[in-house]
Amino acid sequence: MGTSSSINGENQRPMLVSFSGVDGSGKSTQIANLLAHLEASGRRTLSLAFWDNVVVGMRYREGFVHKVYGSEKGVGAPGRPVNRRDKNVRKWYLSVVRHALYLLDALHLCEVLARARRGNPDVIIIDRYIYDELANLPLERFLTRVFIRFIHRLVPQPDIAYLLDADVEAAHARKPEYPLDFMHQCRNAYFKLAEMLGNLSVIPALPLEQAKTAVVSEFHAHDRKTGAMPVMDTVAA
Query: Does residue 69 or residue 35 have the better pLDDT?
Result: 35
Does domain 18-226 sit in CATH 3.40.50.300? yes
Distance between CA atoms of residues 12 and 49, nearest Å = 23
What would the pLDDT profile of 28-50 be if each residue is shown by its tens digit?
A: 999 999 999 999 999 999 999 99
H helices within the chain, ranges in order? 27-40, 50-53, 58-68, 92-118, 130-134, 142-154, 168-174, 180-197, 208-226
Domain positions in the chain: 18-226
- Enumerate long-range contacts of 51-57, CB under 8 Å, 24 or more apart: 51/127, 51/128, 53/112, 53/126, 54/105, 54/108, 54/109, 54/112, 54/126, 55/105, 55/108, 56/101, 56/104, 56/105, 56/108, 57/101
pLDDT tens for 150-209 read 999 999 999 999 999 999 998 888 877 888 899 999 999 999 999 999 999 999 999 999
Residue 220 has pLDDT above 70, yes or no: yes
127 φ/ψ angles, rounded to the nearest 5 degrees: -80, 110
Name 166's Cβ contacts closer than 8 Å, sequence gap at least 6: 21, 22, 24, 25, 26, 187, 205
